[in-house]
Amino acid sequence: MIDINLENKKALVGASSGGIGCAIAQQLALHGASVTLMARNEDKLKIALATLDRSRGQTHRYLVVDFNNFEEYKIAISHYFNDHVVDILINNTNGPKAGTIAAQSLEDYQRAFDLLFKTHCYTTELALPHMKNQGFGRIINVSSLTVKEPMSNLVLSNTVRTALMSWSKSLAKDVAADHITVNSILTGLFDTARIQSLTQMDADSLHITYDEALALRLKQVPMNRLGKPEEYGYLVAFICSQYANYLTGSNIPLDGGMLNGF
């Protein structure tokens, strides 16, 4: 029987006031980790914090940050690492705005780069010294299936997440000898506020109901349903465990069979 034990591990989880990030934090806490939540809405963070398991004496906390303002984020996360270390880093942020190439400016690309790339790189840079010193670390990037199969209305996400995936592969090779693993999860359609927002955008543009737009999305998924956020947490908990010591540099689709390619 697999017994995932993350006791005495400290985890930092981005965009964790709800959705996938919160579900990841809940699973890590359930298996014994002490978790720091990160997001910009303090009221939602307090609610999410109250859902984390404390049965093994964990200490959970939250950090209010705005991923959309890199300079402010840089200050806040630097202060955090002055007093804390992290064994498990979940790089996750809100997504950039949707839209096609024609709808984006150079400034939009820069903002998306700051949001999806610079925040991840900088946070990882701060987390690595402790991981290297102890000879253990887990870095997981919450990415998207669109790095394999780009969607025309998510061009900012497609572009920057692809760059991040290449960076992650390089990092995985650089730190493998230190027993630090780096993996990315290619997220499919999950029942989150982000998907609900994108589905409503589809409904508005096609002049159909939300339910009709959702049905069109689900036609892309062989399982014919949205993923549940807790199912995401299960995979992350496994990757963070001792059972995944040899798993690194991977891009793992979690999509109900949606990906057409290899």
For 2-47, give the DSSP string: -----TT-EEEESS-SSHHHHHHHHHHHHTT-EEEEEES-HHHHHH
Are residue 181 and residue 211 in the same domain, yes or no? no
Contact 14, 45 (CB under 8 A): no
Closest Cα to residue 86, out of 141, 38, 123, 40? 123
* Residues 126 and 195 grouped into a single domain: no
**Structural domain includes residue 212:** yes
Indicate if 146 and 213 belong to the same structural domain.
no
Angle between helices 193-206 and 210-218 (to 10 degrees): 110
Distance CA(48)–CA(70), nearest Å, equals 24
Is residue 252, in this structure, part of any structural domain at all?
no
| Residue 46 pLDDT greater than 80, yes or no | yes
Output the six-digit token pair for 78: 């630097």
pLDDT of 27 reads 98
Give this prediction's pTM: 0.94
* Total structural domains within the chain: 2
Identify the pLDDT of residue 96: 86
Residue 246 has a pLDDT of 98
Percent of the chain with pLDDT over 90: 87
Q: Do 236 and 220 have their domain in common? A: no
- Write out the H or E segment, with its range, that includes residue 89: strand 88-91
44 in a domain, yes or no?
Answer: yes
Instruction: State the Cα–Cα distance between residues 114 and 112, nearest whole angstrom.
Output: 5
Residues 197 and 99 occupy one common structural domain: no
Domain of residue 138: give its range.
10-188+228-246
Instruction: Looking at the structure, tell me whether residues 217 and 119 fall in a common domain.
Output: no
pLDDT digits (tens, 9 = 90+) for 130-161: 999 999 999 999 999 988 888 888 899 999 99
Residue 258 falls inside a structural domain? no
Tell me the average pLDDT of the chain.
95
pLDDT tens figures, 172-221: 999 999 999 999 999 999 998 888 988 998 899 899 999 999 999 999 99
26/119 same-domain check: yes
Q: What is the pLDDT of residues 220-244, one digit of tens each?
A: 999 999 999 999 999 999 999 999 9
Residues 56 and 122 in one domain: yes
**Exposed / middle / buried, residue 220 (Cβ in 10 Å: 0-12, 13-18, 19+):** middle
* Same-domain pairing of 101 and 213: no
Mean pLDDT throughout 104-122?
95
Instruction: Please tell me the predicted confidence (pLDDT) of residue 97.
Output: 85
Let me know if residue 218 belongs to a domain.
Answer: yes
The answer to the question of residue 157 being in a domain is yes
Residue 260 lies in a domain: no
Residues 151 and 28 in one domain: yes
Output the pLDDT for position 2: 81
**Does residue 208 form part of some domain?**
yes
Whether the per-residue pLDDT at 262 is higher than 80: the answer is: no
Residue 170 sits in the same domain as residue 113: yes
CATH number of the CATH domain containing 37: 3.40.50.720
Residues 163 and 206 both lie in one domain: no
